[in-house]
Structure 1
Amino acid sequence: MERLTIDAEYLADILKSLFAIPSPTGYTDTIVRFVSGELEKLGLTVEITRRGAIRAVRRGKDSRGARAVVSHVDTLGAQVKYLKDNGRLELVPIGTWSARFAEGARATIFTEKGSYRGTILPLKASGHTFNDEIDKLPIGWPYVELRVDALTRDKDDLDRLGIEIGDIVAIDPQPEFLDNGFIVSRHLDNKAGVALMLAALKAMQDADVETPVASHWLFTIAEEVGVGASSIVSPEVASLVSVDNGTSAPGQNSSEFGVTIAMADQTGPFDWHLTKKLVDVCKYNDIRYQKDVFRYYRSDSASAVEAGADVRTALVTFGVDASHGYERIHMHALRSIAELITAYLTSDVEIKRDFQQTGPVTGFTRQPTGKARQELSADVETEEIDDPDHPHSAGHA
């Protein structure tokens, strides 16, 4: 399970291309076509669901017990809630994000007649008019509006432009790729995950590596609204690793460097055995990692399990500073996760029982239940102690 070398230039170029394609949840057709085309360039056959989720399968020695890796192509955004009498637009968010980060954002409104540009502004935007009232306005979506860059003096003007309630609004990512490896942008969640998955696949294709089981490369279109991988995981998949952003913030252990392995999110703990497997792969390949627990977070893994997929799930993340705002990450984390994916997918399968959806207890997994090994003091004999009830027993871990 040796990690493969990741083409960092390819990773960065793909990420830049993804940033250039608006893809708020509900408006993902264009990015689905782009990702599907890239998968085909890398030699895989693509299947697309009715709504646009993507599956591409890379063959392994065995089709049973397949391993899946998943990211989502959709991002946060907004939707037209109301055409206002002042010629501006009231908005509601797509996904969960604060209007604090919407203020000042440049945006595109997609209508059936075409697209328009605009800016999201607080209701009181001019200090020359409102003086210090601009600093007293509450924070929230009712207190911002979208100014359309067209002649829109009133609601009738908006009607003439063809802008309607429900139209999708995409927020400009405004990406910056710095020479020191940092990347600052909106929508790193989860275009960075998509890019690093494609980079990992490229490394595997370039090296022509063989995997013990098939690998499924999945890309979902509605993770930001909780739907995620609810209808894309096929029955032969035994394990599902989600790739998404972590949260580098006070009280969290995530980092903008290396791999952050999530032990649990708001839906509960991830699979003990699959998570341990990923940690072991990091250790063996000297991939920097840290563990974290997320309290206000869910991913594609949660939606898959909630939809009835009987799969082991795990979550690997790139630590993002200011998630769902002006996000920042370092290329080191993206490259590290891509390396982990290559090493994991080429590693041996240890739980062969997972080749079948159900079976007898024979071969079922075991978790450690004995007492942890302790360092013995100098005056205690150090020979192996077999009695599990002995206070210094090593147990069965």
Structure 2
Amino acid sequence: MTAPHIDRQYLSAVLAKLLTIDSPTGMTDGAVAFVCDELRDMGIAFELTRRGAIRADLPGARKSPDRAVAVHLDTLGAMVKQIKDNGRLEVTMIGHWSSRFAEGARVTVYADGGKTFRGTILTIKASGHTYNTEIESQPVTWEQLELRLDARIANGDDVRALGIHVGDMVAIDTNAEFTDSGFVVSRHLDDKAGVAAVLAAVRAVVNGQASLPVECHILFTIAEEVGLGAPHILHDDIAELVAVDNGTFAPGQNTSEFGVTIAMKDMSGPFDRKLNRHLLDLCETNGIEHSRDVFKFYRSDVASALEAGYDTRASLICFGLDASHGHERAHIDSFVAVGELLVAYLQSPPIDQV
């Protein structure tokens, strides 16, 4: 088996670029186009589904049954729910995240005709000079937030005159920072860091001219954050499915902050025992830093695939992420470890069916 080699500079560059592309669920075309360009540059065949997800193909010695690796391009975001009489916008969340982490976020509102507007999400009572201690007693709810546009407006009619409507998408700025110590601090590392790790792994396989025993489909899904995920892009020949997503690095968890984590169970149930054991063996054989973890409030592309009735072995591998769905931080070493495991997995023999 070819020794795994992940290009850290490529992985970091891809992640940095992805973090500049807004892709809340329902508005993923820009991220899809970027990944398609990367796949073309690597000479990898791919197709787009009707909804805009990507299915790329890595040929193997055996065509069927095959395997798949899934990672999602969509992120958390928001949407305009109402235009208020005072010219502020009521917003509703896209995906599942606390309004606590939306407070103070800089955003872009995407209106019809390609128009965009900048703004800030604030609590309704945002000024201590006006509301004094009332700002401390506001509930943590999306109804307690409003979006302040950076435009000369005094009322709702002024907002509508700009061309802003109910249902317009709101993308949250990442505020990405790559530190000298290897940490990446940014919103939306879930799951753009996973996408970067997958692309780096695929690039390593292609550049190394590695031979694969089984054909593998690399699936870039576009609706994982709203619970849809992989089912709209899978086919019945897939015998093994490995999803790539974040693992929660937090007290009470066993996720590796600097390695790859194999999830043993999440809220949808245990993952496939044989496939998990295979992934753990690959980590041990290849000297990849790793851990195992169990997640309480978590679901991924795997959950939606199994719930849709796909008869496939399924596992979840993770990079370590602190403050998931909030002000996130992760380390490049963890992304690299995910990529190394994927390279080893793609070159490994398939799991016995009995």
Does residue 118 (structure 1) correspond to residue 119 (structure 2)? The answer is: yes
Q: CA deviation at 1:105?
A: 0.3
CA distance in 2, matches of 1:233, 1:320: 27
Q: CA deviation at 1:256?
A: 1.4
CA distance in 2, matches of 1:2, 1:270: 27
TM value normalised by structure 1 = 0.88
CA distance in 1, matches of 2:144, 2:175: 23
Residue identity opposite 1:331 in structure 2:
I
Q: Provide the aligned length of Structure 1 versus Structure 2.
A: 353
Aligned to 1:72: 72
Does residue 15 (structure 1) correspond to residue 15 (structure 2)? The answer is: yes
CA distance in 2, matches of 1:316, 1:9: 22
Write the mapping of 1:156-305 to structure 2, written as runs, cut at 5 A.
156-305=157-306
8 A contact 1:83–1:165 mirrored in 2? yes
Q: CA deviation at 1:2?
A: 4.4
Aligned to 1:372: none
Write the mapping of 1:339-378 to structure 2, written as runs, cut at 5 A.
339-351=340-352, 353=353, 364=354
CA distance in 2, matches of 1:339, 1:331: 12
CA distance in 1, matches of 2:81, 2:5: 47
**Dislocated runs of 4+, deviation >4 Å:** none
Q: SS of 1:301's equivalent?
A: helix
Residue identity over aligned pairs, in percent, reads 54
Moved more, 229-238 or 310-319: 229-238
Q: SS of 2:90's equivalent?
A: strand
CA distance in 1, matches of 2:263, 2:351: 21
Please list the CA deviations of residues 12-58 of structure 1 after superposition, one character each: whole Å capped at 9, or x if unmatched.
Answer: 00001100100000001111111111111111111100111110101
8 A contact 2:183–2:332 mirrored in 1? yes
CA distance in 2, matches of 1:193, 1:220: 12
TM value normalised by structure 2 = 0.98
8 A contact 1:82–1:165 mirrored in 2? yes
CA distance in 2, matches of 1:2, 1:139: 51
8 A contact 2:275–2:351 mirrored in 1? no
Aligned to 2:149: 148
CA distance in 2, matches of 1:288, 1:4: 13
Provide structure 1 residue ranges, at least 5 long, that are not aligned to the other structure.
354-363, 365-397
- Larger Rg over CA atoms: 1
Please list the CA deviations of residues 346-381 of structure 1 after superposition, one character each: whole Å capped at 9, or x if unmatched.
Answer: 012241x4xxxxxxxxxx2xxxxxxxxxxxxxxxxx
Q: CA deviation at 1:253?
A: 0.8
Residue identity opposite 1:133 in structure 2:
E
8 A contact 1:231–1:307 mirrored in 2? no
Aligned to 1:323: 324
CA distance in 1, matches of 2:218, 2:169: 28
CA distance in 2, matches of 1:262, 1:3: 24
Moved more, 135-144 or 22-31: 135-144
Residue identity opposite 1:236 in structure 2:
D
CA distance in 2, matches of 1:146, 1:35: 31
CA distance in 2, matches of 1:230, 1:336: 27
CA distance in 2, matches of 1:212, 1:71: 22
CA distance in 1, matches of 2:153, 2:314: 49
Moved more, 323-332 or 38-47: 38-47
Residue identity opposite 1:317 in structure 2:
C
8 A contact 1:63–1:236 mirrored in 2? no
Please list the CA deviations of residues 199-232 of structure 1 after superposition, one character each: whole Å capped at 9, or x if unmatched.
Answer: 0001011100001011111000000000000111
Aligned to 2:102: 102
8 A contact 2:274–2:351 mirrored in 1? no
CA distance in 2, matches of 1:3, 1:266: 35
Aligned to 1:51: 51
CA distance in 1, matches of 2:218, 2:188: 21
